[in-house]
A and B are shown apart, each in its own frame.
Chain A
Amino acid sequence: SYVLTQAPSLTVAPGQTARITCGGNSIGSKSVHWYQQKPGQAPVLVIHDDSDRPSGISERFSGSNSGNTATLTIIRVEAGDEADYYCQVWDSDYGHPYVFGTGTQVTVL
């Protein structure tokens, strides 16, 4: 099955830029979606289709996807951005159409 790899953790200082990566074989040929999950809460969609931001999501969140790596970028990081972030793709080639990344825990420190 298709595998999405994320770094387990990332620490970023307030006001700086966080770049969260999601690696997969030729992931650039797929559409990537990103979710933010704060402790004790359900995941929330922050980016869909590589770079589209849902209504209500801060403009500080953006996404890109090329080659074997998709990236979620958060500029001017705030304490409230501290969360786990998961990437996700849809893949029709497998009997398991939805694949999630392993997740990256972002700490703001």
Chain B
Amino acid sequence: QVQLHESGPGLVKPSQTLSLTCSVSGGSISTGSFYWSWIRQPAGKGLEWIGRIYTSGSTDYNPSLKSRLTISLDTPKNQVSLKLTSVTAADTAVYYCARTIKTIDTDWFDPWGQGTLVTVSS
């Protein structure tokens, strides 16, 4: 079955760029009616959708993050990448990637990666 694994630096300095990779196994990121989403969760808080990318490469971003966010596909490596610029302490969170099941009138997330903690601190 499809499995997702996030990776990247656990510590990022304020004002720098957060870069994460989601490696997908058990299926191709470029086929099927799926989006690939990033979702984050600050410690002790709820889930926040960050953005998504379709198998075609088209993207949609959370309006609150849009100006700082880039999500891309690396099809040969079967990876999904996230870049968030100009980070602050408010960006400290566990970051998850998740396959997004796309249907006519709704979408849901399944499965999720195990998550990776990113701390923004000098």
Which A residues are closer than 8 A to B by beta carbons?
Answer: 30-31, 33, 35, 41-45, 48-49, 54, 86, 88-90, 95-103
Contact = CB atoms under 8 A, between A and B. Distances in A.
B110 A48 contact: yes
Given A95-B63, A96-B63, A100-B47, A43 B106 contact: no
Q: Is the interface of B mostly helix, strand, loop or mixed?
A: strand
A65 B106 CA distance: 14
A31 B115 CA distance: 26
Contact of A30 (B106, B110, B111): B106
Contacts of A96: 49, 62-64
Contacts of A30: 106
Interface of B: 37, 46-49, 60, 62-64, 96, 101, 105-115
B49 A98 contact: yes
B48 A43 contact: no
Contacts, number: 60
A8 to B, nearest CB: 11
Given A43-B47, A100-B46, A33 B115 contact: no
Given A33-B109, A100-B46, 4 more contacts: A45-B110, A45-B111, A100-B47, A102-B46
Contacts of B62: 96
Nearest to B94: A42
Contacts of A88: 47, 108-109
23 contacts: A31-B105, A33-B106, A35-B47, A35-B109, A42-B113, A43-B47, A43-B109, A43-B112, A44-B112, A45-B111, A48-B101, A48-B108, A88-B108, A90-B108, A95-B63, A96-B49, A96-B62, A98-B49, A98-B107, A100-B47, A100-B48, A100-B49, A103-B47
